[in-house]
Amino acid sequence: MNITEPYTYEPGTIPLLLSIPHAGTRLTPAVEDGLSDAARPLPDTDWHIPRLYDFARGLGAHILIGNYSRMVIDLNRPPDDRPLYATATTGLYPQTLFDGTPTFKPGSAPDSDERKRYLDQIWHPYHRKLQDCLSEIKARHEYALLFDAHSIASVIPRLFDGRLPDLNLGTNDGLSCAPSLGDALVEFCGQQPFSSVINGRFKGGYITRAYGQPHARQHAVQLELAQCNYMQEQPPFDYVAERAGQLQQVLRALLATLVSWGQQPR
């Protein structure tokens, strides 16, 4: 099988790139054949994130969406597969689901040659496009804003204690964006009807850490959403519009806060 269209990109007009690396559900034959029963519904997908952020088109944001499932390769992990967290996590080629259940049936995971193909034909094209887009934005606007959009089940005992806050901002402990931007987003979230935290369990994955370069006027922020606020957290993982509406309003205002910060003279 030839790997085609590893991502979908929609150009924008403002200095904001919305990256959505984990909403993809496309599988390769090797992965599809090898998945365990627990992994077959793709439970660790960032379900419905493109729909939730659909309003970003109207704002003029550039939008980059990964098309392949993280069960094939995780676009938010480093290419050398170094762990991002000292606590439990998943890797470039996830061997387990978030809850610790094996991703593949025994002896059925793709081999190293197959996985190198995923790195070459899925991971690298996504990241080349991401970097090219940021470079184009900076050439036009002199700075770039990167918003990496994610979601996760609100309760996963293997990864964190108790229920996750609703809005989980990550700035790599303040290294991926200007301090004043982090402060503006924290202040905004603190005024919303959703619980929030910055640099808690989620500090930002590889994308935030690699492309957040405030010294070069390239600022990156990750937002991990608790999925209970907009969808059913169990299969079939349905979108719940009556819950999602309020969250969408907050997300729209959050991105507007990000864009407004970028427009301020400094």
Domain assignment present for 233:
yes
Domain assignment present for 119:
yes
How many CA within 13 A on the CB side of residue 42?
21
Furthest-apart CA pair in the chain: how many Å?
A: 57
- pLDDT band at 158; cut points 50, 70, 90: confident
Domain assignment present for 2:
no
Number of domains present in the structure of the chain = 1
Question: Which residues, listed in sequence order, are joined to residue 14 by a DSSP beta bridge?
Answer: none
In tens, the pLDDT along 206-264 reads 999 999 999 999 999 999 999 999 999 999 999 999 999 999 999 999 999 999 999 99
**Contact between 75 and 22 (Cβ < 8 Å):** yes
The bridge status of strand 218-226 relative to strand 167-170 is antiparallel
Name the residue type at position 147.
F
Question: Which residues, listed in sequence order, are joined to residue 68 by a DSSP beta bridge?
Answer: 26
Domain assignment present for 1:
no
- pLDDT band at 1; cut points 50, 70, 90: low
Domain assignment present for 144:
yes
Name the residue type at position 51.
R
Instruction: Please tell me the pTM assigned to this model.
Output: 0.95
Geometric angle at alpha carbon 66, from 234 and 15, rounded to 5°? 115
What pLDDT, on a 0 to 100 scale, did the predictor assign at position 87?
59
Domain assignment present for 173:
yes
What pLDDT, on a 0 to 100 scale, did the predictor assign at position 86?
54
| Residues spanned by the domain of 77 | 7-263
Geometric angle at alpha carbon 190, from 171 and 254, rounded to 5°? 60
Q: Measured between alpha carbons, how far is 211 from 80 in angstroms, rounded to an integer?
A: 16
Please report, for the domain that includes residue 45, its CATH number: 3.40.630.40
